[in-house]
A = this chain, B = another copy of it.
Amino acid sequence: MPHAFPSAPLSYEQAGVQYELIDPLKVAAQRAAAATARQLAGHGLAEVSASRGESAYVVDAGPFYLASIVECLGSKALVADEMKRLTGRCHYAAIAQDTIAMAVNDLITVGATPLVVQAYWAAGGSEWFADAQRAQALVAGWQAACERCGVAWGGGETPALAGIVEPGRIDLAAACTGIVRPRSRLSLGEALGPGDAIVLLASSGIHANGLSLARKLAERLPQGYLTAIAPGVSYGEALLAPTLLYPPVTEALAAAGVPVHYAANITGHGWRKLLRHPKPLGYRVHSVPPVPPVLEFIAREAGHDAAEAYGTFNMGAGFALFVPGDEAERCAAVARTAGVAAWVAGCVETGPKRLVIEPLGVVYESDALVLR
């Protein structure tokens, strides 16, 4: 059972990620990137400008839209490496799924069908690839995740980057290209409005966001990653549950004719991502899904109250769909048939922009999430 451990609360900034140093670059990059949009006119094409600031970039290619993205796994592989040292078990098949999930779960928010994934596996040296069991697990997990998502694995890069990537480590990322077809599937929020329902899709645990904090927490636990968080389940094993893949849900919704007005992948910033769309709308959640034990454990051990926990982690909801109110139950049913637990959890209201999680008494105002 969880080890009660008296200590000071642990925030994301204490875990070593200093957003204030990254943000000026991000702003400069966003501005420079936006200025390049006019290049598409030279090819008789145009960007869908509403996709700037969304989770994937969309170009109007005529008969359909093109969507593309590159996403990084983050630091979750460090947990896999440590658990391998502690238990001998290799988790790189799960890590492969996490990496692909980071890309495809973002890509589908705009209504795209993911078609091609490219692998980016940058190792600290050639010797990373000499561990055949680990390398084969990465390959097998990558293939299986592609097949689960209906995407073709196009190829990729496997550089050995001694001097840039740490010895014995690997920097994993995935690029994904897809199409929005028919064009009516575009879900950038144009139709998002009061009366829409919020349908939440289950997460499997921490997914691949918040790992810096989770790793920092492990350092404070006397038994570290081997701390039992439930009978027979260690903290490290629980952290390594692979991120759920949501493309089967969005493809099933399209096949069933359930319209999606908007979608948000709940990653960094946790439930504050429900505030992602720029419209001045209110979001009211009337029921929250069950919290995965590993997230309950982290919140307790890190001393987070509900506002900090739900504003940092997915807390059991890995993806949000915003659909017409009268489609909400059908949306959840289709998701369940596609293999993912789902709940009609709330509704969209007139503004001001804010998120109210009624069962928890938590309110995030519009300034709780600044992405653009």
Contacts and interface: CB of A to CB of B under 8 A. Distances in A.
Interface residues of A, number: 86
B179 A177 contact: no
Interface string A121-158: 01001110110100110011011001101111111111
Contacts of A116: 57, 59, 66, 68
Contacts of A74: 159, 161
Contacts of A333: none
Contacts of A39: 146-147, 149-152
Interface class of chain A by DSSP = mixed
A170 B177 contact: no
Interface stretch (A22-30, A271-279, A360-368): A22-30
Contacts of A140: 32
A155 B69 contact: yes
Given A68-B154, A72-B122, 19 more contacts: A16-B126, A22-B158, A25-B129, A29-B156, A33-B152, A36-B147, A37-B152, A39-B146, A39-B150, A39-B151, A43-B150, A45-B115, A47-B152, A66-B177, A70-B175, A72-B159, A74-B159, A120-B120, A177-B177
8 contacts: A21-B126, A25-B158, A69-B118, A72-B157, A72-B161, A74-B161, A77-B164, A163-B166
Contacts of A127: 18, 21
A171 interface: yes
A135 to B, nearest CB: 4
A216 to B, nearest CB: 11
A274 B95 CA distance: 37
A36 B143 contact: yes
Contact of A153 (B36, B75, B143, B155): B36
Please give the count of copies of this chain that the complex contains: 2
A61 B181 CA distance: 11
A140 B161 CA distance: 25
Interface of A: 16-19, 21-22, 24-26, 28-30, 32-33, 35-37, 39-40, 42-43, 45, 47, 52, 57, 59, 61-64, 66, 68-72, 74-75, 77-78, 113, 115-116, 118-120, 122, 125-127, 129-130, 132, 135-136, 139-140, 142-143, 146-147, 149-166, 169-171, 173, 175, 177, 179
A42 B175 CA distance: 20
A193 to B, nearest CB: 26
A119 B29 contact: yes
Contacts of A26: 158
